[in-house]
Amino acid sequence: MTPMLENRHALFELLAAWSERGWLRELDRTLAHFFAELDPQASPLLLLAAALASHQLGQGHVCLDLQTTLADPDSALSLPPEGEDAEGVSLLPSEVLAGLSVDAWLAACAGSALLHDAEDEVAPLVLRGSCLYLRRYWDYERSVAEDLGERLQGADAPADLAQRLAVLFPEPLQLAGVRLTDWQKLACALAARGRFTLITGGPGTGKTTTVVRLLALLQAAALDRGAPLRLSLAAPTGKAAARLTESIGAQVASLPVSEAVRGQIPNTVTTLHRLLGSRPDSRHFRHHAANPLPLDVLVVDEASMIDLEMMANLLDALPLHARLILLGDKDQLASVEAGAVLGDLCRDAEAGGYSEATRAWLAQQTGERIEGAGLQPGAQALSQHIVMLRHSRRFAGGSGIGRLALAVNRGAALEAREVLAAGGADLHQLRLTGEQDRAFERLLLDGLPGGEGRPVGYADYLRVVREQRPDLQDGEARWNAWAAAVLAAFDRFQLLCAVRKGPWGVEALNGRIAHALLQRGLLEQEHGWYEGRPVLVTRNDYGLGLMNGDIGIALRLPEPALEAGGPVRLALRVVFPRNDGSGELRSILPSRLGAVETVFAMTVHKSQGSEFAHCALVLPDTLNPVLTKELVYTGITRARDCFSLIESRAGIFEAAIGRRVERRSGLWERLVGDVYID
């Protein structure tokens, strides 16, 4: 055993060295010191485990799995971090933990006041099997599992459910002349009888269509009883809320229901933070168990972005009688913060896992038979509340994007490469010869060759800035229309990165693109605040009404004259679409914006909930833990009309497809451990 595992002083020196290199957060190191003060007898191994458990939270894991960590320490802990070469580095986790067994680690932790059994509400650490939790996240996981377990008990479906479904789904599902199982109809049926339903599916599979019909069904039944339901729609980010708001309006208008029912279906979507009532500079919300949300049905879109803490807060605030319906793509990246709630819940979604009783009930109510390759019977209670939509209208037929996404999702690297090589109108690949390959900048600035309607680059929105600028004497409405046109033009193209650091990371590429646009004469400067600068909000600002992930663009807008009759001035403002889905804009002084960064390039994580006409994904020249098939799949499915893959080194694309996101938690085990339907 290495000295730092036996000696506190040596351990603290190790943690300090890792912190100085940026391998650990200062929070992780400080936590170990704090626990050492709480228990002067605590083993260095326990203090190390506590620091690493905190570190793993920053990597998205809910706990530290001692067994997984010892099997491959460097990979399990993502150390060295992305963009840092391990060559020449001393004291890698694999070296520090060499020769240590799980039993020895567990034995060293035993007996400390820091770590008691799970029922001890005082101990700051909880050990469950070989998994070490910080108390707060143990409580989050337990509360989510307990709440969802209660919601699995179900609710009463309308007595005339079959008739109502027949009105909302009047025709059998046919695609390309083939009769298919209507999973949207099945999802509505299951959700109508449950207090918890999870509907997952890829882009274009009809998640929004399904939930709108479901809300119409539930609300029509409630109105017939004379008691309309209190409904609400929410999403994790303002961007996702705005997208759902846009799609819902048309869906509601086409429903085969009365105007009275349409009028009782919400047509705007809020963010989860607004729904719960965020308190500035606090982890707490206005709505909680003692002040629950006044709702009967809550729909949450883009649920893959919900972390464990947010899910715990949401369930705490939602009354037990209320229906919770989660929508999301199980194959997308997990949340930025700790936990992968949707991924945990959907672990067996592909197989279905429906019981004979569920199949018979669904056949009776819908006339649909649950058939398909890979479907398996089951008896887990959770499986009876999850539906996977399996037919994409968006990526159907000859869609190259659709075929590429499917291949990546299956982990079929060879097939994915063949789809890329075949090309087509919606797929493009660019293999760079080096960091300074001019083809890279041509793609980013000018898009792809072709005539009208070709996939564009960043020069496109800057031309809108210059060529469509109103005259000073034009009214506010004209200037607002121009600003909206600029924002819409910017959304036509987005460069996505897998990493933040290195020559192919966000930090370097944002500067490189700004420089290229300056040299082209499309920007007036490349540093500081300048017209045309796109910025990404990186932290919630409740005072300004801005949320993490909101994107705005700096534009010169008219300012009122300083004195009556004086000249109108132009002043730089950052224009954001309102994140309530209203379509309105707000303009904010740059000096009031603190937590923003330039966003010519953004990480794939930050792009979740967004969609772009042309999307390019650039892969780095070295493998690191963030490169997984989920990241590649998420990047591909951000593209609506055209996807470009930019490769800086051969083989990275295939290697990424062969790896999956692994986030350790115990949520799934808690929910399915011994819970079966009768």
If you write DSSP's letter for every residue of 562-600 in order, what string do you get? SSTTPPPEEEEEEEEE-TTSS--EEEE-GGG--SEEE-S
Dihedral over Cα of 599, 605, 608, 611: its sign: positive
Mean pLDDT of the chain: 86
Which of 34-48, 173-187, 414-428 has the highest mean predicted lDDT (pLDDT)? 34-48
In sequence order, what are the residues at sequence separation of 6 or more whose Cβ sits closer than 8 angstroms to the Cβ of residue 447? 454, 455, 456, 457, 459, 460, 493, 614
The residue type at 164:
R
122-145: b (≥16 Cβ within 10 Å) or e: ebbbbbbebbbbbbebbebbbbbb
pLDDT of residue 118: 46
Q: Of 640, 628, 335, 594, which is closest to residue 494 (Cα–Cα)?
A: 640
Task: Taking residues 468-477, report their average pLDDT.
Answer: 86
* Cα separation, 153 vs 344, whole angstroms: 19
Could you read off the pLDDT of 617-667 as tens digits, one per residue? 999 988 777 888 899 999 999 998 899 999 988 888 998 898 887 788 888
3-class secondary-structure state, position 386: strand
pLDDT at position 676: 41
Residues 6+ apart with CB under 8 A from 37: none
On the question of pLDDT at 288 being above 60, the answer is yes
pLDDT given for residue 583 in this prediction? 67
Does the pLDDT of residue 55 top 90, yes or no?
yes
The pLDDT assigned to 27 comes to: 93
The pLDDT of residue 475: 84
The larger pLDDT score, comparing residue 669 to residue 24, is at 24
Asked if residues 560 and 553 have their Cβ atoms less than 8 Å apart, the reply is no
* Beta-sheet strands, E only, within 122-269: 125-128, 131-134, 174-175, 178-179, 196-200, 231-235
Structure tokens at 484: 């909206």
Say if residues 209 and 215 touch (Cβ distance below 8 Å): no
Q: In terms of pLDDT, which residue wins out, 174 or 462?
A: 462
Check pLDDT > 70 for residue 398. Answer: no
Q: What 3-state class would DSSP assign to 323? A: strand
Q: Any idea which of 58-72, 114-128, 291-305, 360-374 has the lowest mean pLDDT?
A: 114-128
What confidence score (pLDDT) does residue 186 get? 93
pLDDT digits (tens, 9 = 90+) for 544-578: 878 777 889 999 998 876 566 667 788 899 999 87
Least-confidence region, from 212-216, 535-539, 564-568, 632-636: 564-568
Query: What is the model's pLDDT at position 336?
Result: 76
Confidence at residue 675, expressed as pLDDT on a 0 to 100 scale: 46
Average pLDDT rounded to a whole number, residues 349-356: 87
Decide if 493 contacts 589 (C-beta within 8 A).
no
Could you tell me where the DSSP H helices lie in 459-610?
Answer: 459-467, 476-490, 506-519, 604-607
Q: 429 pairs with which residues across the strands?
A: 645
How many CA within 13 A on the CB side of residue 221?
19
Q: How confident is the model at residue 326 (pLDDT cuts 50, 70, 90)?
A: very high
pLDDT of 109: 85
CA angle, 158 then 163 then 164, to 5°: 65
pLDDT digits (tens, 9 = 90+) for 226-274: 889 999 999 887 777 777 887 787 788 788 888 888 888 888 888 888 8
DSSP at 235 = E
Q: d(Cα 187, Cα 185) in Å, to the nearest integer?
A: 5
Which residues lie closer than 8 Å to 524 by C-beta, 6 or more apart? 518, 530, 531
621, 648 in Cβ contact below 8 A? yes
Q: Count CA within 13 A, CB hemisphere, residue 211.
A: 31
| pLDDT band at residue 119 using 50, 70 and 90 as cut-offs | low
Q: What is the pLDDT of residue 678?
A: 42
Q: Is the pLDDT of residue 96 over 50?
A: yes
pLDDT for residue 396: 58
Q: Which residue from 88, 39, 152, 545 is spatially nearest to 386, judged by alpha carbons?
A: 152
d(CA 507, CA 522): 21
In this prediction, residues 494-518 reach a mean pLDDT of 92
pLDDT at 321 over 60: yes
Question: What is d(CA 450, CA 456) in angstroms, rounded to the nearest whole number?
Answer: 10
pLDDT at 448 over 50: yes
> Nearest to residue 491, comparing CAs of 645, 607, 329?
607
List, in sequence order, every residue forming a beta bridge with 557; answer none if it has no partner.
571
Residue 290 has pLDDT above 60, yes or no: yes
Reported as half-sphere exposure (CB side, CA atoms, 13 A), residue 626 has a value of 22
